[in-house]
Amino acid sequence: MRLNKFISETGVCSRRQADAWIEAGRVTINGTVATLGTQVADGDAVCVDGQQVGAAKAHVYIALNKPVGITCTTEQHVEGNVVDFIGHRERIFPIGRLDKESEGLILLTNHGDIVNEILRSENEHEKEYVVMVERYVTELFLNAMASGVRILGTVTKPCIVERVGGYMFKIILTQGLNRQIRRMCSFFGYKILRLQRVRIMNITLAGLKVGQWRDLTPAEVRALVPVSTLDD
């Protein structure tokens, strides 16, 4: 693991601050002054100003079945924020967002390096939702939603949309525009009564009741996180 990453993951500072400390000669590994880009191996003693810093924290990956009314933010002054709702011992944050009025799957982690990788639109990671609207879902509506809708000054990417019931449909997106499904439905005059995310890539809500969370399995983590960010 790179030295700046090791220091930041002990919780004492950010990577940028760690780099500044290293450049200033304040960091040693096994008694030797370190340089930028130095790698830390298991058992190495890393010290800042002569004081040893703890071992890097283990990465945490969580799946939460978010209830309606919980806000996906780390801002603790926001009532009902997702971090306080979970109350995890580690400092975690949500990967992406799920509207306060929406429910379902949201992922959280303390591994900052993976967030941009997961959210990057060109990677086209699938997110699946089940949506209930206030009036009958027509074939015309489903086809139009799947073909792309003009919102927020752009046209949404083609997506998979299938009927679930008279007033319900499933939609699989590979992008994440702000309030995308709600804006798409509104374009055609449909009002959403319930919006639930049921899957992100290989991770589903299976076995999770509303308000419950669980750690991801090793297999889920391997599929979710690029090997390069797991190992560096």
Closest to 110 (Cα-Cα) out of 59, 53, 177: 59
- Between CA 15 and CA 2 the distance in angstroms is 10
- Between CA 126 and CA 201 the distance in angstroms is 5
What does the CA dihedral 163, 164, 165, 169 come to, rounded to 10 degrees? -60
Active-site residue 232, yes or no? no
- Between CA 225 and CA 187 the distance in angstroms is 35
Answer for the pair 151, 198: CB distance below 8 angstroms, yes or no.
Answer: no
- Between CA 37 and CA 112 the distance in angstroms is 19
- Between CA 146 and CA 159 the distance in angstroms is 5
Q: Out of 44, 99, 215, 232, pick the active-site residue.
A: 99
Sign of CA dihedral 27, 29, 34, 36: negative
The set of catalytic residues is 99
